[in-house]
């Protein structure tokens, strides 16, 4: 095992979950956060010990996207770790920031575990949060073999599946499969504000599933979307165009156009790996 000691910077939901997963696999974990209370909570959960400058093999930067590069630069100045990764939901922005700040890109492998919960904070952390999930790794052309090995070992220790992908392609991909769907779920949930209690009382599992992610932390999601504006806008425009056309078709009684959208939806749904039938509301 190459990761004997790890540092987790940012003990929110994701950072604490990474720390808990590493602890379960016997890694010595140190914790840091600008919020001393968050570190204390994570420590009480068994996620590790408060960091006081110890050198580690891998530092995992688990802070919001816009803050990743500054934290990376600071840790690299201190020589805190052999290698560095992060877990931010967007990758091109933090990589560009890191380049601009003069970070060492040999020891940095940007990452993004595709897992989360709609609750936040260290107390929501779970060692099995990443089990079986994809975890994107976006090494730049400069990335060294040692850093890449350590990042891959992190993914493996967390029980996730590494997917290597270019940072730009990653951001387009998550716009399609995560960020735009989140905004769409928010729009459906927002439409419920106008419904009366009887209407809401008829809600079934289908509505709960469509809107579940809309309960996510708006501050975090604002930050995620701010780092991926154009790819998300492109997907939202296509979805909005389909919905506008469907509404016009319904008003004019053109059910063929609506049926075409339903058919494309079935085919698109079939492209999701592991999508299977479960119980839903009618």
Q: Per CB under 8 A, does 253 bind a copy of itself?
A: yes
Task: Supply the DSSP string of 11-63, one letter for each residue.
Answer: -SHHHHHHHHHHHHTT-EEEEE-S-HHHHHHHHHTTS-EE-SS--EEEEEE-S
Please work out, in degrees rounded to the nearest 5, the angle formed at the alpha carbon of residue 157 by the alpha carbons of 151 and 161: 70
Rule CB under 8 A: choose which of 133, 140, 156, 159 binds a copy of itself. 133
Contacts (CB under 8 A) with a copy of itself, residues 202-221? 202-204, 206-216, 218-219, 221
Q: 9 vs 80, which CB is nearer to a copy of itself?
A: 9
The minimum distance between CB 196 and a copy of itself, in angstroms, equals: 8
Q: 70 vs 239, which CB is nearer to a copy of itself?
A: 239
Q: Per CB under 8 A, does 73 bind a copy of itself?
A: no
Q: Per CB under 8 A, does 238 bind a copy of itself?
A: yes
The minimum distance between CB 65 and a copy of itself, in angstroms, equals: 12
Name the pairing type of β-strands 56-61 and 81-86.
parallel
**Other CB atoms within 10 Å distance of the CB of residue 141:** 5
Q: Per CB under 8 A, does 250 bind a copy of itself?
A: yes
Q: Per CB under 8 A, does 242 bind a copy of itself?
A: yes
Q: 100 vs 222, which CB is nearer to a copy of itself?
A: 222
Rule CB under 8 A: choose which of 20, 59, 134, 168 binds a copy of itself. 134
Contacts (CB under 8 A) with a copy of itself, residues 174-193? 174, 176-178, 180-193
Contacts (CB under 8 A) with a copy of itself, residues 80-99? 89
| Half-sphere CA count of 99, side-chain side, radius 13 A | 11
Q: Per CB under 8 A, does 145 bind a copy of itself?
A: no
Residue with tokens 């932390």: 217
Question: 193, exposed or middle or buried, with CB in 10 Å at 0-12, 13-18, 19+?
Answer: exposed
Please work out, in degrees rounded to the nearest 5, the angle formed at the alpha carbon of residue 112 by the alpha carbons of 229 and 227: 15
The answer to whether the beta carbons of residues 58 and 84 sit under 8 Å apart is yes
Q: Per CB under 8 A, does 236 bind a copy of itself?
A: yes
The minimum distance between CB 93 and a copy of itself, in angstroms, equals: 13
Mask: binding to a copy of itself, 32-71, rule CB under 8 A, as x and -? ----------------------------------------
| Half-sphere CA count of 39, side-chain side, radius 13 A | 16
């Amino acid at each position: 095992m190459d990761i004997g000691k790890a540092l987790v910077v940012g003990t929110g939901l994701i950072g604490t979950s990474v720390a808990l997963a590493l602890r379960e696999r016997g890694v010595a974990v140190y914790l840091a956060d600008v919020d001393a209370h968050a570190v204390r909570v994570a420590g009480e959960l068994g996620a590790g010990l408060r960091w006081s400058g110890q050198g580690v093999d891998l530092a995992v930067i688990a802070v919001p996207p816009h803050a990743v590069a500054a934290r990376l630069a600071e840790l690299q100045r201190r020589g805190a770790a052999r290698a560095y990764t992060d877990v931010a939901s967007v990758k091109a922005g933090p990589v560009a920031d890191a380049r601009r700040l003069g970070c060492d890109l040999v020891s940095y492998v940007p990452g993004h575990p595709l897992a989360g919960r709609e609750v936040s904070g260290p107390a929501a952390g779970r060692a099995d949060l990443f089990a079986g999930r994809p975890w994107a790794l976006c090494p730049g052309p400069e990335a060294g073999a040692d850093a890449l090995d350590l990042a891959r070992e992190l993914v493996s220790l967390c029980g996730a599946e590494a997917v290597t992908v270019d940072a730009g392609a990653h951001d387009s991909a998550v716009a399609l499969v995560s960020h735009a769907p989140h905004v769409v779920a928010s729009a459906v949930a927002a439409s419920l504000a106008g419904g009366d209690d009887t209407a809401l009382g008829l809600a079934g599992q289908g509505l709960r599933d469509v809107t579940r992610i809309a309960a996510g932390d708006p501050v975090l999601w604002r930050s995620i979307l701010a780092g991926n504006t154009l790819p998300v806008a492109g997907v939202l425009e296509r979805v909005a165009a389909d919905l506008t056309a469907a509404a016009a078709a319904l008003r004019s009684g053109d059910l063929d156009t609506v049926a075409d959208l339903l058919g494309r939806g079935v085919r698109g749904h079939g492209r999701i790996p592991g999508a299977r039938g479960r119980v839903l509301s009618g």
